[in-house]
Amino acid sequence: MLETFKALADPCRLRLTSVLLAGEFTVQELTRIMGMGQSRVSRHLKILAEAGVLTVKRQGTWSYFRVGERVSFFTAIRPAFERELQNLPERSCDLAAVAEVLEERRRRSQEFFDRHARQWDDLARTLLPVPEYRQHLLSLVPEGAVVLEIGTGTGGLLVELAVRSSNVIGVDHSQAMLEEARCRLTNDGVSGVELRLGEMTHLPLPDTSVGCVVANMVLHHAADPSAVLAEIRRVLTPGGILLLADLARHERESAREQLADQWLGFEEAELQSWLKLAGFATVAIEQIAADVGEEAVLIVRGETDNVNKLRNTSQLKGD
């Protein structure tokens, strides 16, 4: 308790904790948000981390700081603490700076995909090979549901989703990617697929409007993965299903520059935590093992609460 109070008894550290309640950030990003020098920010982060208020997630050569959960006292006082943080005099400026950093992450990703839309399939397959998992992912798509694919890219999965549903929507934040997807659908004679321009954190759909959301290898590009999962939960109907395929935690640092990856994969525990926080009633995760030279893939199935739930978990391990 004393260590927690000592760590928080400083205006700068209060601001840092407030900022990190809004997401995970590197030291470099925090210096921009706080308007302070790196050495000063690093010193305050060290104190907060040593007290257990913050934890550090290392991703290759980058380190992301976030609010921790291992100190029971801080966890107990956190609701009241968060309410009081709203009264910090720098609160509005800090949140605006957070929004700018997240927007810069998003803009870098969009510019990359606009530039590389035509080469994307070959780039991804060559630079970051993964085991074959797509048929397994597709087998979990419920029949008859309205299906939304976010981060649809060049539309490769849309073609196969259209076989399983007569009502498929594809959303991507890159107009160039959507053009590639539209050409693919036309060339393959696929109908019943609607393409929409939109962000993962602001999906162009109303609440509770789709029965299944598919997110295939897109979450590691997201500026704020937990916000994406919360937005997915918003558009899912009661009893709706999220099917997510993404990279397990890896150390290919080159993926940041070559493929615009924001995150070097994910741990199962953090995905479980984010999905529970977003309001998913059940979560099941399976890891598809990698061969030599490949990276493992996580297949996640999250389900919203409903008395008449759709069940298709026989191929997945439960949480």
Q: What is the mean pLDDT of each run of 10 residues along the chain (319 residues)?
A: 93 94 92 94 95 88 87 90 92 93 87 76 78 94 93 92 93 93 93 92 95 95 94 96 95 82 92 95 96 93 72 42
Tally the C-alpha atoms within 13 A of residue 139's C-alpha that lie toward its C-beta: 10
Whether CATH 1.10.10.10 fits 2-89: yes
pTM recorded for the entire structure:
0.78
8 Å CB contact between 58 and 27 = no
CA distance 246 to 237: 23
Q: Where are the domains of the chain?
A: 2-89, 120-303
Helix, strand, coil in percent for the chain, rounding step 5: 45, 20, 35
| pLDDT confidence of residue 296 | 95
Amino acid at 103: E
- Token pair recorded at residue 55: 């934890």
CA distance 184 to 186: 5
- Cα–Cα distances in angstroms (integers) from residue 252 to residues 28, 35, 125, 127, 128, in the given order: 21, 31, 14, 10, 8
The gap from C-alpha 67 to its chain's centroid, in whole angstroms, comes to 17
| pLDDT confidence of residue 147 | 96
CATH topology of domain 120-303: Rossmann fold (3.40.50)
Amino acid at 243: L
Alpha helices in the chain (DSSP H): 2-8, 11-20, 27-34, 38-50, 72-85, 91-116, 120-127, 134-139, 156-164, 175-187, 225-235, 255-259, 268-278
